[in-house]
Amino acid sequence: MESFTIASKKVLTLVLVIDKAGQKARNLILLGYKKRGFGAHLWNGFGGKVEPGETAHEGALRELEEEAGITVKSEDFKKAGILLFQFENDPVALETHVYKAYEYQGQIRECEEMRPEWFAFDDIPYDQMWEDDRIWLPMLLNGQDPFFGRMYFKRKALEKETKVAPVVNTSTSAHVNHSTTMTATSFTTAQPKSGPFAMYDHHLEHSLQGVPHEVALDGTIASFEN
């Protein structure tokens, strides 16, 4: 496993809302399609950066309200673990505190950043999610939390995708005009399927005895919650 010292870290949150045997008698998970910013075009839980003066718990509740329009009572909010994301040639690691909730209040709504949607557990769109999610999300869903994971990513080479504009038939005739030329070709940078980063290594401990509270700069669990 890759192991390198972190110079600093940012504290983030990630919330998974689960509807156990809901209306359709199937277990459902609420994911949001990220419309812009970091992790754009991927499905994910709700969350973001913890603000100064806020605990991770408070930050997670705030982001859930901002991004999905719903609230969760503190007693229904359970810490599932910490995921430490490290990126090649980037000394800043992302210490992501993951929470789960089975009850919520309010009306789920879309915002500028996220489009929420329920997914059955057997229909989770892993190929349109961060690559590490297929490793730890099943554990969260199976109750194998709390967990602690370290995930290492490399930046993917962005492929150039050629978009060919539709053929414009300038002929007034009903017959296909074979002499019609194709108009300007536009070049766009394609978004790789599971985001611009590729995971190249990971380490995951699950069913821990205690709930991780903080990660040390050597990438180990610094403390557990009381």
Ligand X SMILES: Nc1nc2c([nH]c(=O)n2[C@H]2C[C@H](O)[C@@H](COP(=O)(O)OP(=O)(O)OP(=O)(O)O)O2)c(=O)[nH]1
Residues of this chain that interact with ligand X (CB under 6 A) are 12-14, 37-39, 44, 47-49, 85, 94, 96, 130, 132-133
- Which residues partner with 32 through β-bridges? 44, 116
- Which residues partner with 79 through β-bridges? 99
CB of 174 to ligand X, least distance (A): 52
Residue closer to ligand X, measured from CB, 28 or 133: 133
CB of 38 to ligand X, least distance (A): 4
Residue closer to ligand X, measured from CB, 124 or 221: 124
Phi, psi of 131 (to 5 degrees): -60, -30
Pairing type for strands 77-87 and 212-215 reads: unpaired
Residue closer to ligand X, measured from CB, 130 or 147: 130
C-beta of residue 86 within 8 angstroms of C-beta of residue 4:
yes
CB of 161 to ligand X, least distance (A): 24
CB of 44 to ligand X, least distance (A): 5
Residue closer to ligand X, measured from CB, 97 or 104: 97
SS3 content of the chain, % helix, strand, coil (to 5): 15, 40, 45
